[in-house]
Amino acid sequence: MSTAAAVSTLPEAGKLHRTIDWTGAFWVASGVPALVLFSIGGIAGTVGTLAFAVWITSMIMGLIQSFTYAEIAGLFPNKSGGASIYGASAWVRYAKPIAPLSVWCNWFAWSPVLSLGCSIAAAYILNALAPVPAVDSAAVTGWLAENGAALTVPDAEKAAAAVTALTPTIRTWTFFQTTLGPVSLSLNAAFFIGAILMLVTFAVQHRGILGTAKVQKYIGLTVIVPMLIVGVVPLVTGTVNWSNFSPLVPLATPYVAEPGSWNIAGWTLVLGGMFIAAWSTYGFETAVCYTSEFRDPGKDTFKAIFFSGLLCLALFSLVPFTFQGVLGLDGMLETPIVDGSGVAAAMAHMVGGGQIVESILVMLMILALMLCLMTAMAGSSRTLYQGSVDGWLPRYLSHVNEHGAPTRAMWTDLVVNLFVLAIACADATSFFFILAVSNCGYIIFNFLNLNAGWIHRMDSGHIPRPYKAPTILLVLGGCFAFLNAVFMGAGAKVWNPTALWAGIVTAALIVPVFCYRHYIQDRGRFPEQMLADLGIAPGARMERKAGILPYLTLGAGAAVVLIANWIFTI
């Protein structure tokens, strides 16, 4: 029996609805390319002229890895939630807590896209409604003419004092602020604007996956086309300065435009760049989050992730390349590029546009970020939902509404991200701390799922596969799992000294949650449907054909992270 014949397209009460084909998932995943805007300045500030190469290399790795995800997704036509769910099913035979660890790490990697995206979008809205005057603006010049003589600060600081005096109160106002360990927390204007954007995203998602896909199709076209234009026009018009790509060496010091060398410190910065780039470039794997909502999962699953990968390969290669080629390293290190608030102005400059073009691009940037938000909520909420259905996460998350939307999982996403938003809106240090910690989760998930490919081959080789990845790509994926572990061990510290350990602690939080669900609520038994998806009859013993290999893999992965963290230092 074919996979297409094995599933029903009729909506069932309490379950997700089969209402989309691969194009629907493609449009839902079309928000991923806009993730380049989150860290395009941060990566340039870390690796310097190597930034374009970091983006392209990371994207190629992500595309190769996606073939493993496409294969294991095809094994489960009745599941949703993405690669972490499908990979977790391989590990559950060998170590029960590893399965929910994969799901949890994928969720807390993807979910902060909501808060981080909202913080950048809020910054754009604030810049439009209450802009901070530039140092060389007419407003600053006029203010100094009237008040400059009365200032008691040195002449070199008078312009900055004028900017401070002319900055709208809303830009510095905060209802509440405090410090939490290595980060700050602030309920400022950006927080409240971001919260409104989250609620708008929730309202769109509430209509179910078909309604979400329709909305994202039009937003996606509105955003993707301008990104392609920005990526291509500078190449056609000759505004790319090829000297901006040399010398190909790391920076001597982060965020200082001074060439370094290929020593331990230089390699550490490069690995830090590869670490944070992975959070964006690997993200198109979210296209397989909707397997149980495909009308024909056997055909739609591979097409969704493959064509999403091609789109990302184009945009993640073109946009960073032309940004660097036009702006140069000094331009990439300017504060508005690093924090994301000045990317639209830079894009307008790159295509030769004036103030009107810049205003249009600001609106498109906000739409791009909204696209990211909807992609993140759609994928991460389904990860929570399916994790609950499979017996790994709390039961309350398995509820869906009449449209087939996992609303309780979405509310969980919303509440958690309101807290994270308050951190992300505080300052750039807190923003990149959240980004680094969430990416630790993403690398852990990535490691487990790339190795799940060969585990499924060994344990579930008898189950028909709508798509079977070439063995060489499966092997490469397994090798990349360990390379990503190096990125995490060496690179997380580049963004924050405590990011690696904070990420590991955050990952470990799922263990007591799983133990409560599995051993107390479910009395040590998994739901029958989860076992049926693995081809295991109720009461039957789980075969472990891979022997000790999965355990050796886990030990080797942990060792690689720790050794890389010890060897590579700044």
- The more confidently predicted of residues 227 and 482 is 482
54 in a structural domain: yes
75 in a structural domain: yes
Question: What value does the mean pLDDT take over residues 416-440?
Answer: 86
Whole-number Cα distances in Å, 173 to 198, 421, 554: 21, 16, 48
What global pTM score does this model have?
A: 0.84
Peptide bond into 247 cis (omega under 30): yes
Count of domains for the chain:
1
Q: What is the C-alpha separation between 203 and 95, in angstroms, rounded? A: 38
Instruction: Indicate the DSSP class of residue 517.
Output: I
Give 504-537 pLDDT, tens digit per residue. Answer: 999 999 999 999 988 988 888 888 777 776 777 6
CB-based contacts of 362, cutoff 8 Å, min separation 6? 124, 127, 128, 344
Whole-number Cα distances in Å, 146 to 138, 142, 143, 164: 12, 6, 5, 15
167 in a structural domain: no
CB-based contacts of 567, cutoff 8 Å, min separation 6? 264, 490
Domain that holds residue 201: 22-133+179-567
Q: What is the C-alpha separation between 209 and 17, in angstroms, rounded? A: 8
Give 536-568 pLDDT, tens digit per residue. Answer: 766 667 778 888 999 999 999 999 999 999 999
430 in a structural domain: yes
Give strand ranges (E) for 167-277: 174-180, 183-188, 251-253, 256-259
164 in a structural domain: no
Q: According to the per-residue pLDDT averaged within each range, which of 18-32, 167-181, 384-398, 496-510 is highest?
A: 496-510
Whole-number Cα distances in Å, 256 to 49, 156, 273, 342: 12, 22, 15, 19
Instruction: Please name the residue that has the structure tokens 């493993």.
Output: 68
Q: What is the C-alpha separation between 538 and 525, in angstroms, rounded? A: 10
- 3-state class percentages of the chain: helix first, strand second, coil last, to nearest 5: 70, 5, 25
- Label residue 19 by pLDDT band (50, 70, 90): low
515 in a structural domain: yes
C-beta separation of 467 from 71 below 8 A: yes
First to last CA, the chain: 57
Structure tokens at 424: 């992300």
Question: What value does the mean pLDDT take over residues 196-207?
Answer: 76
Structure tokens at 429: 């240090």
Task: Tell me the CATH number at 91.
Answer: 1.20.1740.10
Instruction: Please name the residue that has the structure tokens 């996992």.
Output: 406
162 in a structural domain: no
**Among the listed ranges 296-310, 323-337, 491-505, 543-557, which one has the minimum average pLDDT value?**
296-310
Q: What is the C-alpha separation between 302 and 74, in angstroms, rounded? A: 8
Please name every residue paired with 183 in a beta bridge, in sequence order, or none if there are none: 180
416 in a structural domain: yes
Q: What is the C-alpha separation between 209 and 189, in angstroms, rounded? A: 31
Please name every residue paired with 65 in a beta bridge, in sequence order, or none if there are none: none
